[in-house]
Structure 1
């Protein structure tokens, strides 16, 4: 399928998870127009959902007076997503690995781990209030039967 260059999107939204979650449908449509595999669609949506919820809940503490900037680009071979909140930020290195035996029952940290596992690259700004995620087309392990629900 032929497209006229990369699809680009940028919007500042209030700290409302329903608004934030709704934006991913436009990205998925752009990915489908560029023949991205279903596994990449699924994983990109999952990573986006985790990141937007983290920005709204943990970054902006659901403060409707604070905004979240969502920027996305979709090309034929790469998706780029950047989410910036108005929170104080955090140190990504300070998140304990939730796979450690003593942390298996403790909530928290799983979203960041999931994002790192399913995206091609993940970086944070120095403040820790901005995440940049990149997905390379086809950079996904085969989907398990549990993934296609």
Structure 2
């Protein structure tokens, strides 16, 4: 078992995966395990799991169009207080502002944009690169009851 000091140090990770959802799921579960090891709350883990799944599926299906000759790069770090993940595909990218608002009346029946909205709701910070083929997700650990302020 690692000491508390070991868990406070950042652990970096890098995955290059094929454009298939099964590979994305394995990466997602590996990152979730790292959060569990560092004592992130179930609420934080739930939100990160959802956001990672959306981001990975977007990169695989929309970015790389499930083209197995293309890869998705997942790089980041986690420590006892923060998770940062960059997910980059080899697609042409998109502009997040061009995605219709899924909560607008005219879009309620359309599925597009909901994943982005979920990522924004559950993560502390989301950024896209200029090309729109890389998303950066950050999650600051929620203070648990009994944690020092």
Aligned-residue offset at 1:94: 0.4
Q: Secondary structure at the match of 1:23?
A: helix
Distance 1:60 1:71 in 2: 17
Q: Given the alignment of the two structures, is residue 94 of structure 1 paired with residue 98 of structure 2, yes or no?
A: yes
Q: Secondary structure at the match of 2:15?
A: strand
Q: Which residue of 1 aligns with 2:146?
A: none
Q: Given the alignment of the two structures, is residue 23 of structure 1 paired with residue 33 of structure 2, yes or no?
A: no
Q: Which residue of 1 aligns with 2:40?
A: 36
Tell me, yes or no, if the aligned pair for 1:81 and 1:133 is still in contact at 8 Å.
yes
**After the TM superposition, which segments of 4 or more aligned residues of structure 1 sit over 2 Å from their partners?**
none
- Structure 2 runs not aligned, ≥5 long: 144-149
Number of residue pairs matched by the alignment: 139
Q: Secondary structure at the match of 1:73?
A: strand
Aligned-residue offset at 1:28: 1.5
Tell me, yes or no, if the aligned pair for 1:88 and 1:129 is still in contact at 8 Å.
yes
Distance 1:90 1:41 in 2: 28
Distance 2:110 2:76 in 1: 32
- Write out per-residue CA displacement over residues 89-143 of structure 1, whole angstroms, 9 at most, x where no aligned residue: 000110111101111011211001110111000000000000000000117xxxx
Distance 2:10 2:79 in 1: 4
Q: Which residue of 2 aligns with 1:134?
A: 138
Q: Which residue of 2 aligns with 1:74?
A: 78
2:111 to 93, 107, 111: 107
Distance 1:40 1:111 in 2: 17
- Write out per-residue CA displacement over residues 1-46 of structure 1, whole angstroms, 9 at most, x where no aligned residue: 6152112210111101110111112211211111111100110011
1:44-59 superposed matches below 5 A? 44-59=48-63
Tell me, yes or no, if the aligned pair for 1:27 and 1:72 is still in contact at 8 Å.
no
Distance 1:81 1:116 in 2: 14
Q: Which residue of 2 aligns with 1:60?
A: 64
Distance 2:137 2:56 in 1: 12
TM-score (norm 2): 0.90
- Structure 1 runs not aligned, ≥5 long: 140-149
